[in-house]
Amino acid sequence: MGELSNKVNYSFSTKQAIIIILIFALIDRDFDILSFMEIKVIITGATGMVGEGVVLECLNHPQVKEVLIVTRKPVAIQHAKLKNLVVPDFLDLTKVTAELSGYDACLYCAGISSAGLNEAEYQHITYDVTMHFAQTLLSIDPAMVFCHISGSHADSSEKGKIMWARVKGKTENALMKLPFKKVYNFRPGFMKPTAGQKNVKSFYKIMGSLYPLFLFLFPNNVSTMREVGLAMINSVLKGYPNQLLEVKDVKKLAGA
C-alpha cells in the first residue's frame, strides 16, 4: 500500500465555496449568507467630512473589498484597499469610464454648503454635477447601487421657500427615477465625526463634544458619522425598503 501524502490541499474554487456556503445556509436557518458577500465601491467627496468618514468606515469594513475615491486633487490617504482616481472636472468623465467600471455601488458624498451661493450656482453643483456623475455610472453599469448624501429636511415637493431644500429635493427625485439596481437618498442631521478624521470644521469639533446632550434631546436628528457610513454600506449589502432615509432609518440600517 502506497504512502499517504501528509500534505493537504485546502484550495477551493469559487464554485466549491458557493456550494459549501449554500449547504451551511440550508442546515442552519440562522446562517447569514450575506456575511460572505464582498463589495467594491466608488466614493466621492472624500476631502469633506462626510466623504472622509464614509471612506474610513469602508476601509475598516471586512466586506468592502476595494474603495475607489474620485477626487479633483490627489489625497494623502494610504491603504491597501484604496485607489484614488483624480478627475479635475466631474462633468468630463469620458476619459475615465474604464476606471469606473467593475464596482457594485457609488457612495456619492460630494456636496457644498449653500452659503453665499445663489440658486443657479448651488443647483449647478448639487444637481447638475451629481446627475451627470450618476448618469455616467448608469451608462457603465445599471446593476450598481447609487447612494446619495442629501440633507435633513430636503424638500421633495421642490416648491418650498428654502432654496437649498428645494434643490436637494429635486436632486433626490431625479436620482430615484434613474434605473439603477437601487437608489438611496440619505438625509443625515448633525453628525458626530469619527475619531481620527481630519476634514472636520471647528463647528463640528466643538458641537461634537456636546453630542451626548444632543442625542438625549434630539434622538431623531443626530447620529454619528460611523452610523452614516455603516448605513450606506449595509444599504448595498442588505438593502432597505425606503429610498429616502431619515436619521432614524440611518440608525436602524447601521445596526442591521
The structural domains of the chain, with segments of one domain joined by +, span: 38-254
33 vs 7: which has the higher pLDDT: 33
Q: What is the mean pLDDT of residues 174-200?
A: 95
Gap between the Cα atoms of 170 and 178, Å rounded:
13
Q: Is 38-254 CATH 3.40.50.720? A: yes
Residue 138 has pLDDT above 60, yes or no: yes
**Structure confidence at residue 13 (pLDDT):** 57
Gap between the Cα atoms of 134 and 140, Å rounded:
10
Question: pLDDT tens for residues 205-220?
Answer: 888 888 999 899 999 9
Gap between the Cα atoms of 41 and 237, Å rounded:
11
Gap between the Cα atoms of 71 and 47, Å rounded:
8
Residue 4 has pLDDT above 80, yes or no: no
Q: What is the mean pLDDT of residues 110-116?
A: 95
**Structure confidence at residue 200 (pLDDT):** 87
**Structure confidence at residue 9 (pLDDT):** 43
**Structure confidence at residue 32 (pLDDT):** 56
**Structure confidence at residue 202 (pLDDT):** 82
**Structure confidence at residue 31 (pLDDT):** 47
Residue 191, burial from CB neighbour count under 10 angstroms (0-12, 13-18, 19+): buried
**Structure confidence at residue 10 (pLDDT):** 40
Residue 7 has pLDDT above 70, yes or no: no
Which residues have CB under 8 Å from 18's CB, separation 6+? none
Burial 193-212 (b: 16+ CB within 10 A, else e): bbeebebbeeebeebbeebe
Q: What is the mean pLDDT of the chain?
A: 90
Residue 204's pLDDT band, with cuts at 50, 70 and 90, is confident
Rounded percentage of the chain residues whose pLDDT exceeds 90: 77
DSSP one-letter code for 194: P
Residue 203 has pLDDT above 90, yes or no: no
Contacts of residues 81-89 at CB distance under 8 Å and 24 or more positions apart, as own/partner, are 82/55
Rounded percentage of the chain residues whose pLDDT exceeds 70: 86
Q: What is the mean pLDDT of residues 81-85?
A: 97
